[in-house]
Amino acid sequence: MKHAAPVMNTRTKVIIDTDVDFDDYMAIVYLMLNPQIEVVAISVTGCGAVHLSKGVENVANLLTLFGQGALHLPILRGTSAPLSFSNVFPADVRNGADIHYEAPFPATNPSPVIHNAQDWLHDFFINNHEPITILSIGGGTNFGTLFRTAQQDPILQAKLKSGIQQIVMMGGNILPRYITPGAVGNIEPTLGSNVIYRNTVAEWNIFIDPLGAQLMFEFGVPLRLIALNATNDVPLDQGFVDALKSIDTPAAKFLSAVLAYPGNAAGIGTYLSFWDPLAACTIAVPSLVSTQVFPLMVYQELNEEDDQSASLIVDAKYGSPIDVAISANKNAVYSEFLRVMRLSTT
Measured CA to CA in angstroms, residue 289 lies from 164, 239, 327 at distances of 21, 21, 6
**What domains does the chain contain, in order, with CATH numbers?**
12-341 (3.90.245.10)
pLDDT at 10 over 90: no
Q: Please return the burial class of 239, using the count of CB atoms within 10 Å of its CB with bins 0-12, 13-18 and 19+.
A: exposed
pLDDT class for 262, splitting at 50, 70, 90? very high
pLDDT at 185 over 50: yes
Tell me what percent of the residues of the chain surpass a pLDDT of 70. Answer: 97
Q: Under a CB-based contact definition with an 8 Å cutoff, are residues 297 and 313 in contact?
A: yes
Q: Under a CB-based contact definition with an 8 Å cutoff, are residues 167 and 103 in contact?
A: no
Residues paired with 167 in a beta bridge: 134, 223
pLDDT tens-place string over residues 166-183: 999 999 999 999 999 999
Mean pLDDT confidence for 180-203 = 88
Q: What is the secondary structure of 205-265 as a DSSP string?
A: HHHT-HHHHHHHHHSSS-EEEE-HHHHTTSB--HHHHHHHHT--SHHHHHHHHHHHSHHHH
| Model confidence, pTM | 0.96
pLDDT class for 92, splitting at 50, 70, 90? very high
The confidence score (pLDDT) of residue 9 equals 58
The confidence score (pLDDT) of residue 344 equals 61
Residues paired with 135 in a beta bridge: 16, 168
Q: Under a CB-based contact definition with an 8 Å cutoff, are residues 78 and 44 in contact?
A: yes
Residue type at 83 in one-letter notation: L
The confidence score (pLDDT) of residue 303 equals 87
Q: Where are the beta strands (DSSP E) in the chain?
A: 12-18, 37-44, 75-77, 114-116, 132-137, 164-170, 223-226, 289-298, 312-314, 320-328
Q: Under a CB-based contact definition with an 8 Å cutoff, are residues 82 and 141 in contact?
A: yes
Mean pLDDT confidence for 25-45 = 98
Cβ-proximal residues to 294 (8 Å cutoff; 6+ apart), any chain:
174, 178, 312, 314, 319, 321, 322, 324
pLDDT at 7 over 90: no
Q: What is the secondary structure of 305-325 as a DSSP string?
A: TS--TTPEEE-TTTPEEEEEE
Tell me the C-alpha distance between 285 and 201, whole Å. Answer: 29
Mean pLDDT confidence for 234-244 = 98
R_g over Cα of the chain: 19
The confidence score (pLDDT) of residue 2 equals 47
Query: Which pairing describes strands 320-328 and 289-298: parallel, antiparallel, or unpaired?
Result: antiparallel
Q: Under a CB-based contact definition with an 8 Å cutoff, are residues 56 and 27 in contact?
A: no
pLDDT tens-place string over residues 38-65: 999 999 999 999 999 999 999 999 999 9
Pick the residue with more confidence: 191 or 334?
334
The confidence score (pLDDT) of residue 100 equals 98
Cis preceding linkage at 181, omega within 30:
yes
Q: Under a CB-based contact definition with an 8 Å cutoff, are residues 137 and 285 in contact?
A: no
Helix-strand-coil percent breakdown of the chain, rounded to 5? 40, 20, 40
pLDDT at 295 over 80: yes
> How many CA atoms does the CB half-sphere of 216 hold within 13 Å?
33
pLDDT tens-place string over residues 124-174: 999 999 999 999 999 999 999 999 999 999 999 999 999 999 999 999 999
